[in-house]
Amino acid sequence: MKFFGYRRSNGRAGTRNHVLVFPTIVCASTVAQMISGRVAGTVCAIHGCGCGHVGEDKEQVIRTMVGFTGHPNVAGVLLVGNGCELITPDVIAGELVKDGQRVEATSIQEAGGTSKCVEEGIRLAEKLLAEASSLERESIDISELILGLECGGSDAFSGLTANPALGVASDLLVAEGGTVIFTETTEMLGAEQILAKRAGDAEVERDIYEKISAAEAKAKSMGMDIRGSQPSPGNIEGGLTTIEEKSLGCIRKGGSTTIVQVVNYAEKPSKKGLVIMDGTALDVQSNIGLIASGAQVIAFTTGRGTPVGTPSVPVIKVSTNSDTYERMKENIDINAGVIIDGKGTIQSVGKQIFGELREVASGKVTKAEILGHREFDIPTLGPVL
Amino acid sequence: MQEKAILIDKRDNVATALCQLGKGDSVQVGVEDFTSDTALLENIPFGHKFALRDIQKGGAIIKYGEAIGLATKQIRHGEHVHVHNVESQKGRGDKQ
């Protein structure tokens, strides 16, 4: 089975052909936005990171930036720095060049201030855009697709409609030789025994228990009941009572195949099949981690309704109930609420999601893309020093 | 035809309302050859759970065939099952 994607010079397959303007430090955010605003057709992603990171936190921020800017949906990237930061454009560019990514860089201090840096940045972004615009889609095997899974604004129907239907789509992609990554470790609390039973080997089983118990230890270290955050007030109003109930519903989106690997946040899997990425339960941070891990399409289920997209990777929204779909039609691509209404089944909606995945991978725009949703965030692990 | 409520696993002792249900409504749910009848003792909002049998204080609430928490008080057959009478066993930093 095939889709139409962009074959990059380093061999990877993309589903979009973006030119990205990316500040490596928060201080360069405005300049990056000015450049992107002046070069139509580019995308920009701003964040609060780039300085004050140490140890594991520094490693994770750099891994996220490298994975995100070197992603196959990015045809070329312009990195913008200030000059005195910890993570300069050179730190990221060095990794990207090794990986064969097309990259340009500019810095405010070196260019001689804001205006000069914006002028130089515009020139470089225009060059990248001209190069990217000559590339064409070609037929690529669907086994090269990595689907990221996400759920946000869950309700009691998430585990009954949208998540099991997405599970069917996940199983179909894995059966075609593709890869599916699911994340949000906190939302696995109470489901660890079920996930561990599906581990491909003893190492994966150990990793599953380790990551989930670390997430629980972190939650407990706050000295409080996590109810109110997990489940959130919106989840509780929607009928979810405990984190265990939410987790058992959440994990259904991963389908029923063997879990082949557990990776860290923003780490690329080395195996194909169903993979767990360790990470927080904040939707936007999860999306960016999934992208940095290589996902070229994200499928996102929602009970209460959420608008978020990403700067570079399409997000397919699936609603769990028809009320939310009717209220937020402009944000939602597929309504799994038909399963409650008796107008569809978990199987039929699952096949619909899989069909949509192929079309979106081949260029069909999602609702979040049409509306211009490009939310971006990088999680930090420790105090910023 | 649309069902009023759904039972996911026959081991479950709660079902989920598929529409707003009222006190006094009688609801039948089933999975495979198993069915269960309930007369609701209170209103159940869309998406919320009700008890399919009496659950003792400290007893497990079962959904998806798995424990999703423990009853903090006696729950009668037909009562609303939610945060007012169920507590989680996970992430309880307050109980350390």
Confidence at A214, pLDDT banded by 50, 70, 90: very high
Contacts of residue A226 in chain B, CB cutoff 8 Å?
Answer: 88, 90-93
Contacts of residue B96 in chain A, CB cutoff 8 Å?
Answer: 220, 223
B68 and A241: CB-CB below 8 Å? Answer: yes
Interface list for B 23-62 with A (CB within 8 A): 45-49, 61
Contacts of residue B47 in chain A, CB cutoff 8 Å?
Answer: 155-157, 238-239, 321
Q: What are phi and psi of A44, to 5 degrees?
A: -135, 145
Confidence at A222, pLDDT banded by 50, 70, 90: confident
Confidence at B90, pLDDT banded by 50, 70, 90: confident
Q: Which residue of B has its CA nearest to A190?
A: B90
Answer whether residue B96 shows pLDDT above 80. Answer: no
Q: What is the pLDDT of residue A114?
A: 98
Residue A319 is which amino acid?
Answer: S
Q: What is the pLDDT of residue A335?
A: 98
Assign A69 to helix, strand or coil: helix
The residue ranges of every structural domain in chain B are 5-95
Give percent of chain A above pLDDT 90: 89
- Lowest mean pLDDT of A113-117, A199-203, B30-34, name the range: B30-34
Strand partners, B14: B51
Q: What is the pLDDT of residue B2?
A: 63
Across chain A, mean pLDDT equals: 95
In contact, A19 and A77? CB cutoff 8 Å: yes
In contact, A66 and A92? CB cutoff 8 Å: yes
Answer whether residue A352 shows pLDDT above 90. Answer: yes
Q: How many helices (H) and strands (E) does chain B have?
A: 0, 9
Nearest Cβ partner of A190 from B18, B83, B90?
B90
- Lowest mean pLDDT of A222-226, A285-289, B83-87, name the range: A222-226
Give me the mean pLDDT over the A50-66 stretch. Answer: 96
Contacts of residue A227 in chain B, CB cutoff 8 Å?
Answer: 83, 87-88, 91
Give me the mean pLDDT over the A323-343 stretch. Answer: 96
Give me the mean pLDDT over the A288-310 stretch. Answer: 97
pLDDT tens-digit profile of B45-88? 999 999 999 999 999 999 999 999 999 999 999 999 999 999 99
How close does chain A come to B34, measured CA to CA in Å? Answer: 19
Answer whether residue A305 shows pLDDT above 60. Answer: yes
Answer whether residue A91 shows pLDDT above 70. Answer: yes
- Cα B21 to Cα A274: distance, rounded to the nearest angstrom: 39
Give me the mean pLDDT over the A138-156 stretch. Answer: 95
- Cα A65 to Cα A80: distance, rounded to the nearest angstrom: 12
Q: Which residue of B has its CA nearest to A320?
A: B47
CATH number of B5-95: 2.30.130.110
A241 and B69: CB-CB below 8 Å? Answer: yes
A242 and B63: CB-CB below 8 Å? Answer: no
Answer whether residue B21 shows pLDDT above 70. Answer: yes
Q: What are phi and psi of B61, to 5 degrees?
A: -90, 125
Interface list for A 262-321 with B (CB within 8 A): 321
In contact, A89 and A81? CB cutoff 8 Å: yes
More confident residue, B89 or A164: A164
Q: Does A243 touch chain B (CB under 8 A)?
A: yes
Residue A352 is which amino acid?
Answer: Q
Q: Which residue of B has its CA nearest to A233?
A: B83
How close does chain B come to A15, measured CA to CA in Å? Answer: 36
Nearest Cβ partner of B47 from A221, A238, A242?
A238
A226 and B93: CB-CB below 8 Å? Answer: yes
Give me the mean pLDDT over the A243-253 stretch. Answer: 94
Q: Could you give the ipTM of this predicted complex?
A: 0.94
How close does chain B come to A216, measured CA to CA in Å? Answer: 5
A241 and B61: CB-CB below 8 Å? Answer: yes
Residue A80 token pair: 């913008």
Residue A234 token pair: 């919106």
Q: What is the pLDDT of residue A289?
A: 98
Q: What is the pLDDT of residue A249?
A: 93
Answer whether residue B1 shows pLDDT above 50. Answer: no
Interface list for A 183-212 with B (CB within 8 A): 186, 189-191, 194
Answer whether residue A280 shows pLDDT above 90. Answer: no
B94 and A242: CB-CB below 8 Å? Answer: no
